[in-house]
Amino acid sequence: MNLKGRNFITLKDYSPEEIGYLLELASDLKAKKKQGITGNSLKGKNIALIFEKPSTRTRCSFVVAAVDEGAHPEYLGKDDIQLGHKESVEDTARVLGRVFDGIEFRGFKHKTVEDLAKYAGVPVWNGLTDDYHPTQILADLLTMKEHFGYLKGLRFVYAGDGRNNMANSLMIGMSKMGVHFTILAPESLWPKNELVELCQGYAAESGSTITLTEDTDAVKDADTIYTDVWCSMGEEDKAAQRITLLKPYQVNKELMEKTGKDTTIFMHCLPAVKGNEVTEEVFESGASVVFDEAENRMHTIKAVMVATLGE
């Protein structure tokens, strides 16, 4: 499958077959790395890593993935370039596109990564924006596939803030790949209708379902329970209100037991605020696959770069 030259901005732009291909490639690259085999598909390439928001997993994953495949990654923090301040995003994009072979962006406005992609002339990869976090979803899908052996037909529940970038992106990824997807959240924190309708279209094609509910009984038969922090970066002022609103949706032992399955796994994109969205007990339990998920960020990001830029 040829994805050469493609941007990776949101999974809306990728077909189920293309997502499946990236997961297979990631799995292959992971197996090779475990055997001590790295590649040179990015040899001679220079990659710009633009970070408006700090990050552990995204930054480390892009750096290690790039180096493993022979590229040189250059970290550009918010004080290193004039993105959208002294220089417009489109001008910065055109400059960086002349110098670099690929650009990763992690920041606030989704429009910034779209504009970079529009003007850079080289592949642009979304490392997270306020709206979407597609590289995380690939890692989540790979983790589930490794754990269960398949994706289609699994039952997935996302508990917590149902309108943040993770809920949005998970709904897109799961509905495309045939995973039954439930958002368990107070109605005031459900995703936008237009995105729900779009994903219902994906679900109809893949044979899965989308459910939005406030009822914790909806976790019955879930294969995966997923959560994220109750306050995203930049929302710290809403913390007290969110804790009150979301406390009934905490992933704790009782919620995990409500699935009626002893095979249910717990997932989280990290970092976690233990005692808020998840208890220490569940986080540290045998059901938790959060560190497999964190490692898989690197293998899936490597697959995206190899597929879109590699030789």
Alpha-carbon gap, residue 169 to 301, rounded angstroms = 16
Is 180 annotated as ligand-binding?
no
Is 106 annotated as ligand-binding?
yes
Nearest CA among 112, 78, 83, 114 for reference residue 96: 83
List the alpha helices (DSSP H) in the chain.
16-34, 57-68, 89-99, 110-120, 134-148, 165-176, 193-206, 239-246, 253-257, 280-283, 290-309
Task: Please list, residue by residue across 130-165, b when 16 or more beta carbons sit within 10 angstroms of its beta carbon and e when fewer do.
Answer: bbbbbbbbbbbbbbbbebeeebeebbbbbbbbbbbb
Alpha-carbon gap, residue 286 to 42, rounded angstroms = 37
Residue 79 designated active-site = no
pLDDT in tens, 104-136: 999 999 999 999 999 999 999 999 999 999 999
Is 231 annotated as ligand-binding?
no
Mean pLDDT of the chain: 97
Residue 133 designated active-site = yes
Nearest CA among 47, 182, 14 for reference residue 123: 47
pLDDT in tens, 228-242: 999 876 778 888 899
Domains of the chain with bracketed CATH: 11-133+294-309 (3.40.50.1370), 136-291 (3.40.50.1370)
Is 136 annotated as ligand-binding?
yes
Inter-CA distances, 111 with 67, 102, 116, 131, 264, Å: 29, 18, 9, 10, 37
Predicted pLDDT at 239:
86
Is 57 annotated as ligand-binding?
yes
Mean pLDDT of 184-209: 98
Is 232 annotated as ligand-binding?
yes
Is 297 annotated as ligand-binding?
yes
Residue 163 designated active-site = no
Catalytic residue among 155, 180, 268, 297: 297
Residue 228 designated active-site = yes
Nearest CA among 29, 52, 50, 30 for reference residue 41: 29
Q: What is the largest CA-CA distance in the chain?
A: 56
Predicted pLDDT at 141:
99
Q: Is it the case that residue 257 has pLDDT exceeding 80?
A: yes
Catalytic residue among 59, 68, 115, 136: 136
CB atoms within 10 A of CB 291: 10
Catalytic residue among 6, 242, 269, 299: 269
More confident residue, 295 or 79: 295
The three state secondary structure string of 273-295 is CECCCECHHHHCCCCECHHHHHH
Residue 106 designated active-site = yes
The residues that bridge with 103 in the sheet, in sequence order, are 48, 124
40 pLDDT tier (thresholds 50, 70, 90):
very high
Is 94 annotated as ligand-binding?
no
Catalytic residue among 106, 110, 242, 268: 106
Mean pLDDT of 189-213: 98
Predicted pLDDT at 135:
98
Predicted pLDDT at 171:
98
pLDDT in tens, 273-308: 999 999 999 999 999 999 999 999 999 999 999 999
Mean pLDDT of 173-192: 98
Predicted pLDDT at 236:
80
Predicted pLDDT at 232:
76
Nearest CA among 196, 117, 162, 138 for reference residue 21: 138
Alpha-carbon gap, residue 197 to 53, rounded angstroms = 30
Q: Is it the case that residue 270 has pLDDT exceeding 80?
A: yes
Is 55 annotated as ligand-binding?
yes
Alpha-carbon gap, residue 174 to 209, rounded angstroms = 9
Catalytic residue among 133, 180, 242, 268: 133
Alpha-carbon gap, residue 213 to 195, rounded angstroms = 16
Predicted pLDDT at 238:
81
Predicted pLDDT at 114:
98
Strands across the sheet with 180-184, in order?
210-213, 180-184, 155-159, 224-227, 265-268
Residue 199 designated active-site = no
Which element (helix H / strand E) includes 105? strand 102-106
Residue-wise DSSP of 217-228: GGGTT-SEEEE-
